[in-house]
Amino acid sequence: YDSVESDRIEVEGLFVSRFERNVCIMEFTGQWCSWCPAGAQLLQMLVSEVYKDQAYAMAFHNDDSMAIQAESDLKSIFAWVDYPAYVTDMRDCGSLSGSGCRLSIEKSLYDIPTHCGVAVSCVKDNEGFKATARLFSENTMEYRMAAYVVEDKVIAEQTVSGNVNRHVVRKMLSSSVAGDKLGVVSRGEEKSVNYDFELDPAWNADNATVVILAIDMEGHVNNMAICEVDGGNTDYEERKL
């Protein structure tokens, strides 16, 4: 400008998703575990207060009345030693004590970009329930989709104290913890998957939800959505400006 030329500079743009980021915290616990009630209390505080509407918990039980095969499958991948443990977005694993879980949530929220939106609805029919999960991709890439049924406030005695168990994973709807293949989803494309399922008569449908996880090429949860099993409808969550 005016015969003066500045030094060349490079500017790198940061991709900002149109979708809000929801973080998945998998809790690994058991009725027999003396340390697990304290871990559950810490996690409940994080998801209901500190990161409310940003982080969501799923409790996988080990060797008790609420255990399902998915807990063993996940342990074979992440190989934690002690209980209670956590896995954030199927990426970071650690003991559910101290500040590790909180730092891991913040890493997902602020350091790892979201590149897809997830929506889910669920209706009751004569045969049981039908959940429809949708994924909208902002980048062309491969995805998998994992689906679970979660029941909150399950009454079951704990070895140490209390009998109310939060966000218990009751059933896996997808074919594996790695999720069902969606294949390559192009930028601006939407794909959907239907899941038909039944609830055990002993479960409380009023406290049950469907949880959908969008899993990227690295096997990490990039985003998620949750809705009630009976008439729930969670649309894509647009990012608040």
Query: What are residue 117's DSSP bridge partners?
Result: 136
Given a contact cutoff of 8 angstroms between Cβ atoms, the answer to whether 89 and 221 are in contact is: yes
Q: What is the mean pLDDT of residues 61-69?
A: 95
Tell me: pLDDT of 158 over 80.
no
Nearest to 87 by CA among 59, 46, 45: 59
Report the pLDDT value the prediction gives residue 145, as an integer from 0 to 100. Answer: 98
Helix (H, G, I), strand (E, B) or coil at 82: coil
> For residue 169, which phi and psi values (nearest 5 degrees)?
-75, 115
Report the pLDDT value the prediction gives residue 10, as an integer from 0 to 100. Answer: 65
Distances (CA, A) of 152 to 112, 197, 220: 29, 18, 24
Q: Whose structure tokens read 């060797």?
A: 63
Report the pLDDT value the prediction gives residue 2, as an integer from 0 to 100. Answer: 67
Given a contact cutoff of 8 angstroms between Cβ atoms, the answer to whether 207 and 136 are in contact is: no
Those residues whose C-beta lies under 8 Å from the C-beta of residue 36, and which sit 6 or more positions away, are: 29, 30, 83, 84, 158, 160
Where does the pLDDT of residue 156 fall: very low under 50, low under 70, confident under 90, or very high at 90 and above? confident
Of 21-30, 31-40, 152-161, the least confident: 152-161
Distance CA(228)–CA(210), nearest Å, equals: 6
Q: Count the Cβ atoms, other than its own, within 10 Å of residue 50.
A: 12
Tell me: pLDDT of 64 over 60.
yes
Q: What is the mean pLDDT of residues 160-164?
A: 73
Distance CA(47)–CA(27), nearest Å, equals: 12
Q: What sign does the CA torsion over 66, 208, 145, 196 have?
A: positive
Report the pLDDT value the prediction gives residue 98, as an integer from 0 to 100. Answer: 82
Counting every residue written for the chain, the total comes to 241
Report the pLDDT value the prediction gives residue 126, as an integer from 0 to 100. Answer: 82
Distance CA(142)–CA(15), nearest Å, equals: 18
Tell me: pLDDT of 240 over 80.
no
Where does the pLDDT of residue 163 fall: very low under 50, low under 70, confident under 90, or very high at 90 and above? confident
